[in-house]
Each structure stands twice: as structure tokens, then as C-alpha cells.
């Protein structure tokens, strides 16, 4: 067994997710990502089953592992009790731990996720915040959201929220002492270290590509990974 | 008595849902997009059903969207979830109710992981103690909020003022139901009806007088896909999934879509708008969309609550066609007013999707 396979195997989700694949392809047939991307969960599981170090490294550096939507539809259907979607979570973890994620266009997007959802968890205690879902970045949210977004305190109040206020309720301000506990959990369990690795590897990649990257979400590298292809500067999605 | 055949099989797909005394945790997505639904859930439980349900202001996200976007490690997510259990334990509760399906799936996954790997549970207990000084008991009963509404669907129906019946024709209204993927696709035994025949929303629709439509892509994902929506460059995945569902349900002319997941109602609502802008295509009659509801919104309509107290004004696809069919009165003039009647302006009308009566 190779080093990468051993690393994957240490994760309990790997043990849970990979029993013995018979290559029937049922997972690919049910997979929403397989309809949209050049993606086949069957092949992922097959590669892992080979334990081939070279193929696994190539997978960890590829766009392929980032195509899955983690809907877990494959889990229901596998006749052998495998969970390709769960294996994807392990592959993505290891890809980030090893710094391989920056070698693919889709993998590089992890910085955008860390700087939005990831930071909001630590700063506010929520994965999403209304002020972060801007109409400019979310045109699909339509004119109702645009209206709501421009009157957030009033609309939230109308809908019975406790927006940014103390006490229980919708979108309350989560007390600082509770946020501090969440941050300590991140420190204790590797969350803080994961965030640091995403930042550090991304900074190196930005330098390698000759792209500007700073602490904000308004720079060349961030705009590219968030909106389009990363191999040339652009502010629009060229897919 | 020996239970045979289908009865015995069906028994495997039932789950126990606690009768009272719930510890409630909220959903990140729903608080942003459907804040009134959570408010109405608590109102129904407390004021209609006289149940004890408690929310602790110190609870936080379970970190589920961060976990499924793969930026938050499993170890971290498990410990945050352990903290939620600690808050429940400290408050003296044993029945845990989650507003979110992603969370519900994760709570199920974490408990199952601890069941299979007790050493992981021990390690998480140590992490939590070290980071916060807290300890916890695991919940005796874990339910999604839609399970609770399902459990009391008869009581809600009996107290109701309206039914899912066309007030003009007297015929049942036709609904399609969409179950969040993480409700039971990972752990079928954790959902009512399992993964193949989820009954949690069907039970509500049938109890409240409606008729459920089966359609080919009924179990297809709405397309959230976490990173596939959250990163702008990937959103084609998301809209493609929803479009596949709309195309599949359209020939059956549904009067409404009912959902139990935080993201699904938002995507099925917003992507109808986006498709209309991109292609001029709408999925209801005469330029209308198909109204999309959360189960609390539907329960609230059945109970006769003011549609604008339910938050139906923040849907991009107008719900008025369904209100008209059910015979529910509403005042269009107050739809976009603030809490004390203040004028907040109005959203712009979309290019194609019928939004205001005068633009029909």
C-alpha cells in the first residue's frame, strides 16, 4: 500500500465509504454531477480500489474530485454499500492537507469558500449571512432579494426575525463568548490549521500565476477563482 | 399477530418522533431566506399544539455548509455538533429537533460514526471538554422539523380553516413534493418512508386534502451541490438540476411544490425566475411560475394565518395563484409593507415571470 492510500485510509469515512466496488456504474447513473460534468463516481471508486499511488495523486490534483455536489444520491443506490460521495469528502480533505487542491481550477475555488462561508462561521456563527449574499454576486436571486437586501432590518423585522439583536430567534447576534468557543473548537480540532493551509497554498499559487492576491475578496486571484477560469485573468465566467 | 408482506416492509420505514419537549436548532439557509418559516414552526408548536419547545440563544451553525464545501474538517464539525448536544443536555432536554436537512443529515452521520467507531466519540468528547469545558449526552430522539409537523398533521388539519381543495371546482389541488437529499438518502431508516418512498411531505399533502403527483425526476437533487452554487463559476450545475426537475414536472400541471429542505425551496423558486430571464420560459399557466412552499408555510396557510406573516412576499415566484385556488383572502396592498405599515417600496417586476396583477 502507498503513502497516499494509507493517508486516505486513516479517515473513518474512507472505511465507511469503500467496501468492495463491482463497477456496476449505478452510482454514475444516478449522479447529478455526472450529467453536468465529465465525471463518473464509478471511476473514482475504481481508482481508489487499485490503491495505485500515481493514479491517486493525479486524482487529488485534478478537477474531477471537485465536480461532486455531495447530494449523496449514490449512497442510496450502491448495491454493495459503498458511498462514493463520502469518499469524495476524504479525497477533498487530503487534497487540501497536501496542497494539491491548487493544481486544479475547481480545487483553487476552495479559497473563495474559505473566505466566505468559512470566515462567516468564525465571525458570526452562521454559514450564511444576508449581507454576504449580495445582489451583484447573486443575480439569480432576483428583484425580490434585491428589494429585501436593500431593506434588510425592516423586512427581517416584518418576518419575525431577531436580526442582529440579543436573545434567541432568527439571525440573532450570537454572543461573543459562544463564538469564542467555536474558535477554540477550530483550534483544537484542526479547523484553524485547515484554513491556514488553504490560505498559504493559495498565496503560493497566486504568486506562481503572477496574480494579485490580498486579504480582501476583491483582487485578481479571488475574482478569477470565484467567477471564471483560473488560467487567465478575467472577471467573467468564460465557461 | 404475525405481520406479513408489505406491512412488515413498511414497518421498517417508520421512525419514532418524540411527542413533546424539544430542543430546537435553527438553519443557516432558512434564517436568511425563509425566516418566517422558523417563526411559524415555533408558533404552531407552542400556540396550536401546546408543546414545549426550547431554543438556546448560544447555539450556532452546525458548520454543515462549510463541511460539505469541504473547508471545515469532519473532526471540527463533529465537535461543533457535540457542543449543540451539550447545550441540549445542559438545558435538560433529550429530544433534538433540527430545522435544517443538511444539519439533520450530519447529526445522523455523526451519531452513526460514533456508533461504528466509539473511539471517535471518545476523542470528540475530549476535544469539546478541552475547548469549552462542556460535556454532553447524545439525544434520545433526533427529528427533523418536518417530521414533527408530519406527526401532528392530523391535529393541524383539524384546526385548519382551509384545505388543499380548489374552492371553485371542489377538486384536490395537485402538489409535487421535493425531499432534501440529506433527509434520508444517506440513512434511509432516519426518514419517514426511507429514501425510496419518503412519506413525510406526502402525508401532509394528503391529510390536508391535496393530491400528490408522481413524476420522473421526483427524487433528483435541486442542485444546491454546496460549492456548485456557492461559487459563482459553478452555478450552471445548480440551475441545470432544477431545470431538469421543472421540465419533468411541467406536463403534470402542479399547483404547487412542497419542500422540506432549507435550500430546495429557494433554488426551486429562484431558478424559475432565472430560467424565465434566460429563456423566457415559465412553468405555470399564462406566464406564471409554480409556487414553492416550505411545509411550515403550507401548514400556516391551512391554519388560516395571514400569508404575509408567513413570509410569502419574499418568494420570487408569486404564491397568489395558489391562494386564489384555496380561497384564501389576502391584501395585495400590504404585501411589501413593513411591520408597522411603513412603505418599503416594491421589487421590480421580472421581464417574463408574471409578478404583479397589472403586468399580466
Q: Where are the domains of chain A?
A: 3-98, 107-227
pLDDT at A238: 36
DSSP state for residue A165 in the 8-state scheme: -
Is the pLDDT reported for residue B343 higher than 90? yes
Which residues of B are less than 8 Å from A188 in CB distance?
79, 127, 130-131
pLDDT at B358: 64
Average pLDDT for chain B: 96
Straight-line distance from the first to the last Cα atom of chain B, in angstroms, rounded to the nearest whole number: 61
A161-173 per-position pLDDT tens digit: 999 999 999 999 9
| Surface of B (246-305) touching A: CB under 8 A | 270-271, 273-274
Second CATH level (architecture) for the domain B160-359 = 3-Layer(aba) Sandwich (3.40)
Distances (CA, A) of B174 to A59, A64, B157, B320: 46, 40, 17, 16
pLDDT at A80: 95
Q: Which residue is listed with cell 404475525?
A: B2
Is any Cβ of chain B less than 8 angstroms from the Cβ of A82?
no
**Distance of alpha carbon A161 from alpha carbon B223, whole angstroms:** 27
Which of the four pLDDT bands, split at 50, 70 and 90, describes residue B360? very low
Is the pLDDT reported for residue B134 higher than 70? yes
Topology of domain A3-98 in CATH is Fumarate Reductase Iron-sulfur Protein; Chain B, domain 2 (1.10.1060)
> Is this complex scored with an ipTM above 0.90?
yes
Which residues of A are less than 8 Å from B237 in CB distance?
32-33, 36-37, 69
Is any Cβ of chain B less than 8 angstroms from the Cβ of A180?
no
Which of the four pLDDT bands, split at 50, 70 and 90, describes residue B197? confident
pLDDT at B92: 98
Residues of chain A under the 70 pLDDT cut: 1-2, 229-239
Q: How far is A91 from chain B (nearest CA, A)?
A: 10
Which of the four pLDDT bands, split at 50, 70 and 90, describes residue B196? confident
B83-118 per-position pLDDT tens digit: 999 999 999 999 999 999 999 999 999 999 999 999
B23-50 per-position pLDDT tens digit: 999 999 999 999 999 999 999 999 999 9
List the domain boundaries for chain B. Answer: 22-145, 160-359
Is any Cβ of chain B less than 8 angstroms from the Cβ of A172?
yes
Nearest CA in chain A to B236: A36
Q: Which three cell numbers stand for residue B293?
A: 412552499
User: Does domain B22-145 bear CATH number 1.20.1050.140?
Assistant: yes
Using CB atoms, which residue from A142, A158, A184 is nearest to B132? Answer: A184
Q: How far is A142 from chain B (nearest CA, A)?
A: 7
Interface mutation target, options B23, B27, B35, B273, chain A, most CBs of A under 10 Å? B35
pLDDT at B357: 81
pLDDT at A235: 39
User: Is pLDDT larger for residue A58 or for residue B359?
Assistant: A58
pLDDT at B13: 77
**Distance of alpha carbon A56 from alpha carbon A62, whole angstroms:** 10
Q: What does the CA dihedral B111, B64, A88, B201 come to, rounded to 10 degrees?
A: 80
Using CB atoms, which residue from B73, B74, B348 is nearest to A143? Answer: B348
Is any Cβ of chain A less than 8 angstroms from the Cβ of B192?
no
Are residues B59 and B93 in contact, defined by beta-carbon separation less than 8 angstroms?
no
B218: left (phi over 0), alpha (psi -120 to 50) or beta: alpha
Amino acid at each position: 500500500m502507498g503513502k497516499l492510500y494509507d493517508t486516505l485510509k486513516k479517515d473513518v469515512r474512507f472505511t465507511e465509504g469503500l467496501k468492495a466496488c463491482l463497477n456496476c456504474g449505478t452510482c454514475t447513473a444516478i449522479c447529478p454531477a455526472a450529467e453536468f460534468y465529465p465525471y463518473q463516481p464509478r471511476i473514482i471508486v475504481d481508482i481508489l480500489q487499485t490503491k495505485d499511488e500515481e493514479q491517486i495523486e493525479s486524482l487529488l490534483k485534478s478537477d474531477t474530485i471537485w465536480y461532486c455536489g455531495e447530494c449523496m444520491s449514490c449512497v442510496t443506490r450502491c448495491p454493495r454499500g459503498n458511498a462514493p460521495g463520502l469518499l469524495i469528502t476524504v479525497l477533498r480533505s487530503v487534497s487540501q492537507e497536501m496542497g494539491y487542491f491548487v493544481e486544479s481550477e475547481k480545487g483553487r475555488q476552495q479559497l473563495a469558500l474559505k473566505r466566505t462561508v468559512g470566515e462567516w462561521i468564525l465571525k458570526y456563527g452562521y454559514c450564511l449571512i444576508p449581507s454576504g449574499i449580495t445582489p451583484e454576486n447573486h443575480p439569480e436571486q432576483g428583484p425580490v432579494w434585491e428589494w429585501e437586501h436593500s431593506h434588510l432590518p425592516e423586512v427581517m423585522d416584518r418576518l419575525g426575525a431577531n436580526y442582529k439583536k440579543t436573545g434567541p430567534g432568527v439571525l440573532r447576534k450570537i454572543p461573543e463568548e459562544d463564538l469564542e468557543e467555536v474558535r477554540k473548537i477550530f483550534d483544537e480540532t484542526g479547523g484553524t490549521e485547515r484554513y491556514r493551509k488553504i490560505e498559504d497554498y493559495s498565496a503560493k499559487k497566486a504568486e506562481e500565476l503572477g496574480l494579485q492576491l490580498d486579504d480582501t475578496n476583491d483582487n485578481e486571484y479571488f475574482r478569477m477563482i470565484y467567477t471564471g477560469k483560473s488560467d487567465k485573468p478575467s472577471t467573467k465566467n468564460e465557461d | 399477530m404475525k405481520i406479513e408482506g408489505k406491512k412488515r416492509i413498511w414497518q421498517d420505514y417508520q421512525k419514532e418522533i418524540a411527542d413533546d419537549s424539544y430542543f430546537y436548532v435553527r438553519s443557516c439557509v432558512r434564517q436568511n431566506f425563509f425566516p418566517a418559516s422558523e417563526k411559524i414552526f415555533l408558533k404552531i408548536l407552542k400556540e396550536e399544539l401546546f408543546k414545549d419547545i426550547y431554543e438556546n440563544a448560544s447555539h450556532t451553525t452546525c458548520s454543515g455548509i462549510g463541511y460539505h464545501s469541504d473547508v471545515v474538517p469532519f473532526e471540527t464539525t463533529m465537535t461543533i455538533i457535540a457542543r449543540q448536544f451539550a447545550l441540549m443536555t445542559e438545558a435538560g432536554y433529550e429530544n433534538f429537533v433540527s430545522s435544517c436537512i443538511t444539519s439533520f443529515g450530519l447529526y445522523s452521520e455523526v451519531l452513526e460514526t460514533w456508533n461504528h467507531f466509539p473511539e471517535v466519540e471518545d476523542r470528540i468528547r475530549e476535544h469539546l471538554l478541552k475547548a469549552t469545558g462542556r460535556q454532553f449526552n447524545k439525544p434520545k430522539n433526533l427529528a427533523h422539523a418536518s417530521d414533527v409537523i408530519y406527526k401532528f398533521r392530523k391535529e393541524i388539519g383539524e384546526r385548519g380553516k382551509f384545505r388543499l381543495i380548489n374552492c371553485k371546482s371542489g377538486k384536490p389541488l395537485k402538489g409535487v413534493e421535493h425531499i432534501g437529499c440529506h433527509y434520508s438518502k444517506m440513512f434511509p431508516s432516519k426518514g419517514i418512508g426511507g429514501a425510496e418512498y419518503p412519506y413525510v411531505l406526502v402525508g401532509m399533502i394528503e391529510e390536508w386534502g391535496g393530491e400528490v403527483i408522481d413524476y420522473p425526476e421526483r427524487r433528483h437533487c435541486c442542485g444546491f451541490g454546496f460549492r456548485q452554487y456557492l461559487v459563482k463559476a459553478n452555478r450552471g450545475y445548480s440551475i441545470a438540476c432544477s431545470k431538469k426537475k421543472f421540465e419533468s414536472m411541467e406536463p403534470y400541471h402542479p399547483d404547487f411544490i412542497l419542500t422540506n429542505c432549507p435550500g430546495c425551496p429557494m433554488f426551486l423558486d429562484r431558478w424559475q425566475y432565472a430560467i424565465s430571464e434566460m429563456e423566457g420560459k415559465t412553468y405555470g399557466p399564462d406566464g406564471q411560475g409554480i409556487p414553492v412552499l416550505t411545509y411550515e408555510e403550507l401548514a400556516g396557510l391551512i391554519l388560516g394565518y395571514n400569508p404575509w406573516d408567513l413570509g410569502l412576499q419574499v418568494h420570487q415566484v408569486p404564491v397568489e395563484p395558489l391562494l386564489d385556488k384555496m380561497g384564501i383572502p389576502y391584501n395585495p396592498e400590504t404585501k411589501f409593507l413593513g411591520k408597522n405599515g411603513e412603505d418599503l417600496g416594491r421589487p421590480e417586476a421580472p421581464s417574463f415571470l408574471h409578478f404583479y396583477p397589472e403586468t399580466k
